[in-house]
Amino acid sequence: MTNTASTPPTQTAVRYEPAAVEAKWQRRWQEDDLYKAEDAVPGKENWYALTMFPYPSGDVHIGHWFAYTPADAHARFMRMQGYNVMHPQGFDSFGLPAENAAISRGADPREWTVANMDNMRRQFKLMGASYDWNRELATCEPDYYRWNQYFFLKFYEKGIAYRKNGAANWCPQDQTTLANEQVKDGACERCGTTVVRREMPQWFFRITDYADELLEMDSIDWPEKIKVMQRNWIGRSTGVTIGFDVSEYMPDGESDKIETFTTRIDTVYGVTFVVLAPEHPLVSKLTQPQQQGEVDAYIENAARQSEIERTSTEREKTGVHTGAYATNPLNGEKVPVLVGDYVLATYGTGAVMGVPAHDERDFVFAKKFGLPIRVVVAPEGWSGEELAEAYIAPGTQVNSAEFDGLPSAEGKERIADKIESNGWGERTITYHLRDWLISRQRYWGTPIPIIYCDDCGTVPVPEQDLPVILPDNVEFTPTGQSPLTLDEEFVNVPCPDCGRPAKRETDTMDTFVDSSWYHLRFTSPGLMEEPFDSEKVRQWVPVHQYMGGAEHAVMHLLYSRFFNKALRDIGMVEFDEPYTRLFNQGTMTKDHMKISKRANPLNPEPIIERFGTDTLRCYLMFLGPWDQGGDWSDQAINGISRWLQRVWDLALRESPSGSDTDADRQIERASHALTGRVIGDMQQFKFNTTIAALMEFTNELSRSRETGNTSREAWTSAIERLLLHLAPLAPHVAEELWEQTGHRYSIHQQSTPGWEEAKAAADTETIVVQVNGKVREQLQLPAGVAQDTAVSAALASEKVQRYTDGAEILKQIFVPGRLINLVVKPGK
RNA sequence: GCCGAGGUGGCGGAACGGUAGACGCGCCGCACUCAAAAUGCGGUGGGGGAAACCUCGUGCGGGUUCGAUUCCCGCCCUCGGCACCA
């Protein structure tokens, strides 16, 4: 320091220099392996704190900081609360960007990924997060992905994995199929390109078998929002499947029925037409010769439409007659069979019964095609007039034969009974959820361990031959086939069963397979013989606290739950859910706009250089409630910087040495109150109010120092408490001050200080006096003052008397420790 | 359209049904300085008033209550998710 001579005595000689402090402690913690998690520590409960691991895209950006540093603060807090905490970090390192980098600039995907991981690991270490790096894993390593293959084989054995030919979602840009969950608004979730449908054999995981169990979420403490999104995605609906006979229109005297699904069987007497999806197999058979041309043209046109166009709700409903008629089994009526693309081939049975009076879409369709609209569920007070729009709500059965007069809710049950007893159909449950399509026609992923033999068919790779290694040096020409198809050495293998020449499956797995079980691998990352050590899994999993963004609500978080249940069913884990608690952080913006590299950049590195990691960490947590995201301000971070500087000065300047017991009591009161607030807030991830409480305490200490009456003991203990609460939030500066105030390393191995409600309580309390609900006076009264004493004091106040003089007091409300409200009737 | 979260000073945001605006930013004033920066101290919702104090005020309209940002009913707006799911 150059200005020591001119420094006034009240100034500290050494200013807070974050860079030096942070480098020093990061090195020390690493040398000492301070955050290494033992699998069991006597007397401590385990706490598995997990954040959704990152994709190694290249740099740790501000969004990573916003996701990971508050999560780390919480993990650190739990450690100080006496838990044995494991907080691991790794890389979700298979995926398209690596391959796209290979295509666009000839980089090797593995080298590109490894270089990114090295860089990001370095940047992560600048965060000062309490990660146990001994447990780091990367999903692109054979030691990891071989277990994806292992699980795949187990699932195949159990029938959970299967191969099926069908129309799959195809992204023309990424040149691969996608799972339903990865299609948003008819476009690829990753690149935004409109998805098309393509017929091809693909591998699936039978997630639909778990649909009902996945709906059961009472045992997990997750945000309601995520639960709702999962429920909606699974989309369970209960109804009736009912067949409409079309035999007389079938070629060659075949007999057949159109199976339709409805949730409104109470409206079945109002059916005036039946609509098939263009892709429905009966369309070709039922189309009568005179309609053939029109139907063909319609189907061809529908096929050319994109998914977005077809599913737009604004679009006009279109359709065409097949010339065939179907018989309603309940009343024997024949209704026309049409083809319409508002009916989806992928939902229910791909055919619907049209009830225009009681379904908005059917209403529009009927109006357009001049089909009859028959009311069968009457609104209250309905007297036979025509409807201006479809009537959706419940009502009374009419025009429904023997069911007339019943409330529609009851009609639903009775009609379903009748249908079932006559064998016309049955009660059915349908789901929006489809099986998880896991095949990807891409290189940078886990090879699917299957061999196709002309003689033996589909042959699983024997377990002892795992892993099927992803070869290096393949050609990247996005042709719609996996690059692996061009690797002769990879593709051509002898059949494991008969030894004759056979070919390997060349598709790779969806990377969401990798992230479905990584939390298990963190318990035993180096293990060679098994995917994980069951004993250690028992010690650590289910994950106690999972943290990450809500964008994975129906992808990762749903897949992972499914995967856990499938593992349970093959006897590999014992619990039903992978993540007990979940917390979703919100999205960070800058100037209320999305942060993006190009349009609205916010690079953390210069911020760290200027203010230090601790300041950035605290600022991100101070922005607002973590789950609501936050808006970055270049100016406001100064406030945090100033505050930490003040903490530094308070801790290091010479302590006061007064002997005023009142001053000491005041500090003690503030100290205990602080701890109570901090513990409550930190438990609930309310970092912003935690920091506000610490700032208030800092202000209190500053005032106390000004008066100089506080004793050395009281002061020292207050500073100690401040540092202990600061430690999870600003770990470096807290550690440095801990050392400089003469404490033993490390502050991060200390416990949260204790507190007592009684000591946190004030000796006097402010009682607000209201007259008719308006605040008129504030009285300082001894704590715990009784109602009559307080009221007498209030009535003695001149300010209160102004409003009570000559008035009649009707009522007194007394809230202990808070207020008095005098309800008066004014005199005169 | 449906589901979820929100709407509070110039800004980010606090408030078990009990003093609305904690804490911070910004701004204003003062101190320190030749000066500036940094730092420290004080002030800072609107209107009125020299002040004491009065009054209005938490998206809009009602209601419950001694008392409502908070609870209830009906709207408006913003953000996120889903959406021809039969």
Q: How far is the CA of A799 from the C1' of B50 (A)?
A: 21
Q: How far is CA A451 from the centre of its chain?
A: 36
pLDDT digit string (tens) for A95-122? 988 988 888 888 899 999 999 999 999 9
CB A778 under 7 Å to nucleic chain B: yes
Q: A718: closest CA among A733, A696, A735?
A: A696
Classify residue A411 as exposed, middle or buried by CB count within 10 Å of its CB (0-12, 13-18, 19+). buried
Q: How far is the CA of A12 from the C1' of B39 (A)?
A: 12
pLDDT digit string (tens) for A277-314? 998 999 999 999 999 999 999 998 887 776 667 666 66
pLDDT digit string (tens) for A481-509? 788 999 999 999 999 999 999 999 999 99
Tell me the CA distances in angstroms from A315 to A295, A311, A318, one per residue in order: 20, 8, 9
Q: Residue type at A11?
A: Q
| Nearest nucleotide, CA A632 to C1' | B12
| Angle at alpha carbon of residue A332, lines to A326 and A334, rounded to 5° | 35
SS3 category, A245 = strand
* b/e sequence A771-782, b meaning 16+ C-beta within 10 Å: beeeebbebebe
Distance of alpha carbon A823 from alpha carbon A828, whole angstroms:
16
Which residue's CA is nearest to the C1' of nucleotide B13?
Answer: A624
Q: A280: closest CA among A313, A234, A319, A328?
A: A319
Q: How far is the CA of A231 from the C1' of B59 (A)?
A: 32
What pLDDT is attached to residue A312?
66
* Within A 703-732, residues with CB less than 7 Å from strand B: 703, 706
CB A40 under 7 Å to nucleic chain B: no
CB A359 under 7 Å to nucleic chain B: yes
On whether the CB atoms of residues A87 and A131 are closer than 8 A, the answer is yes
| Residue A380 CB partners (closer than 8 Å, separation 6+) | A395, A396
On whether the CB atoms of residues A769 and A775 are closer than 8 A, the answer is yes
- Under the banding of pLDDT at 50, 70 and 90, the label for residue A3 is very low
How many other C-beta atoms are found inside a 10 Å radius of the C-beta of residue A151?
Answer: 23
Distance of alpha carbon A161 from alpha carbon A213, whole angstroms:
18
Which residue's structure tokens are 């070629």?
A: A251
Bond from prior residue into A782 cis (ω within 30 degrees of 0): no
| Nearest nucleotide, CA A628 to C1' | B5
On whether the CB atoms of residues A709 and A702 are closer than 8 A, the answer is no
- Under the banding of pLDDT at 50, 70 and 90, the label for residue A4 is very low
pLDDT exceeding 90 applies to what percent of chain A? 70
- Under the banding of pLDDT at 50, 70 and 90, the label for residue A5 is very low
- Under the banding of pLDDT at 50, 70 and 90, the label for residue A9 is very low
Classify residue A1 as exposed, middle or buried by CB count within 10 Å of its CB (0-12, 13-18, 19+). exposed
Of A53-57, A313-317, A688-692, the one with minimum mean pLDDT is A313-317
* Within A 300-339, residues with CB less than 7 Å from strand B: 310-313, 315, 317
Q: How far is the CA of A624 from the C1' of B60 (A)?
A: 27
DSSP symbol at A398? -
- Helices assigned H by DSSP within A440-570: 488-491, 518-521, 534-540, 556-569
pLDDT digit string (tens) for A82-97? 999 999 999 999 998 8
The torsion angles phi and psi of A83, rounded to 5 degrees, stand at: -90, 155
Q: What is the mean pLDDT of residues A644-660?
A: 90
| Nearest nucleotide, CA A305 to C1' | B84
A204 strand-pairing partners: A162, A437
Distance of alpha carbon A90 from alpha carbon A143, whole angstroms:
14
| Nearest nucleotide, CA A180 to C1' | B82
| Nearest nucleotide, CA A817 to C1' | B18
* Within A 785-814, residues with CB less than 7 Å from strand B: 799, 811, 813
CB A432 under 7 Å to nucleic chain B: yes
What pLDDT is attached to residue A314?
66
Distance of alpha carbon A595 from alpha carbon A743, whole angstroms:
42
Secondary structure string (H, E, C) spanning A504-535: ECCCEECCCCHHHCHHHHCCCCCCCCCCCCHH
Q: How far is the CA of A638 from the C1' of B37 (A)?
A: 15
On whether the CB atoms of residues A149 and A449 are closer than 8 A, the answer is yes
CB A633 under 7 Å to nucleic chain B: yes
- Under the banding of pLDDT at 50, 70 and 90, the label for residue A185 is confident
Tokens read off for A367:
């109006």
- Under the banding of pLDDT at 50, 70 and 90, the label for residue A166 is confident
Distance of alpha carbon A713 from alpha carbon A118, whole angstroms:
48
pLDDT exceeding 70 applies to what percent of chain A? 97
pLDDT digit string (tens) for A201-223? 999 999 999 999 999 998 999 99
Q: What is the mean pLDDT of residues A809-814?
A: 90
> Residue A479: is its pLDDT beyond 80?
no
Q: What is the mean pLDDT of residues A782-791?
A: 89
| Nearest nucleotide, CA A275 to C1' | B86
| Nearest nucleotide, CA A235 to C1' | B85
SS3 category, A567 = helix
Distance of alpha carbon A636 from alpha carbon A733, whole angstroms:
20
Give DSSP secondary structure letters for A701-737. HHHHHHHT-S-HHHHHHHHHHHHHHHTTTSHHHHHHH
| Nearest nucleotide, CA A353 to C1' | B86
Q: A69: closest CA among A20, A21, A128?
A: A128
On whether the CB atoms of residues A102 and A109 are closer than 8 A, the answer is yes
What pLDDT is attached to residue A272?
96
Q: A128: closest CA among A611, A522, A614?
A: A614
Q: How far is the CA of A355 from the C1' of B84 (A)?
A: 15
The reply to whether ipTM tops 0.90 is: yes
| Residue A528 CB partners (closer than 8 Å, separation 6+) | A143
Task: Give the HSE-up count for residue A504: Cα atoms under 13 Å, Cβ half-sphere.
Answer: 24
Q: How far is the CA of A642 from the C1' of B26 (A)?
A: 15
Tell me the CA distances in angstroms from A548 to A542, A576, A619, A690, one per residue in order: 16, 21, 19, 21
| Nearest nucleotide, CA A775 to C1' | B19
CB A682 under 7 Å to nucleic chain B: no
Model pTM score: 0.93
Q: How far is the CA of A139 from the C1' of B52 (A)?
A: 72
CB A565 under 7 Å to nucleic chain B: no
* Within A 509-548, residues with CB less than 7 Å from strand B: none
Sign of the dihedral defined by the CA atoms of residues A109, A115, A116, A121, in that order:
positive
What pLDDT is attached to residue A6?
30
Q: Are strands A508-509 and A196-205 parallel, antiparallel or unpaired?
A: unpaired
pLDDT digit string (tens) for A206-265? 999 999 999 999 899 999 889 999 999 999 999 999 999 999 998 887 889 999 999 999
SS3 category, A372 = coil
Tokens read off for A566:
């499938």
DSSP symbol at A255? -
Q: Which nucleotides of B are covered by protein (CB under 7 A)?
A: 3-5, 11-16, 18-20, 22-26, 38-41, 53-55, 66-68, 80-86
What pLDDT is attached to residue A827?
63
Distance of alpha carbon A694 from alpha carbon A648, whole angstroms:
13
Classify residue A340 as exposed, middle or buried by CB count within 10 Å of its CB (0-12, 13-18, 19+). buried
On whether the CB atoms of residues A452 and A201 are closer than 8 A, the answer is no
pLDDT digit string (tens) for A530-571? 999 999 999 999 999 999 998 888 899 999 999 999 999 999
Which residue's CA is nearest to the C1' of nucleotide B4?
Answer: A225
| Nearest nucleotide, CA A822 to C1' | B66
Q: How far is the CA of A664 from the C1' of B38 (A)?
A: 32
Q: How far is the CA of A767 from the C1' of B63 (A)?
A: 30
Q: Residue type at A518?
A: Y
CB A232 under 7 Å to nucleic chain B: yes
Helix (H) or strand (E) holding A2: none
| Nearest nucleotide, CA A311 to C1' | B84
CB A686 under 7 Å to nucleic chain B: yes
Q: What is the mean pLDDT of residues A720-724?
A: 97
Classify residue A687 as exposed, middle or buried by CB count within 10 Å of its CB (0-12, 13-18, 19+). buried
Q: Residue type at A589?
A: T
Distance of alpha carbon A415 from alpha carbon A401, whole angstroms:
11
CB A776 under 7 Å to nucleic chain B: yes
Q: How far is the CA of A813 from the C1' of B58 (A)?
A: 25
A199 strand-pairing partners: A167
Helix axes A613-622, A18-32, angle to 10 degrees: 100
Q: How far is the CA of A70 from the C1' of B41 (A)?
A: 34
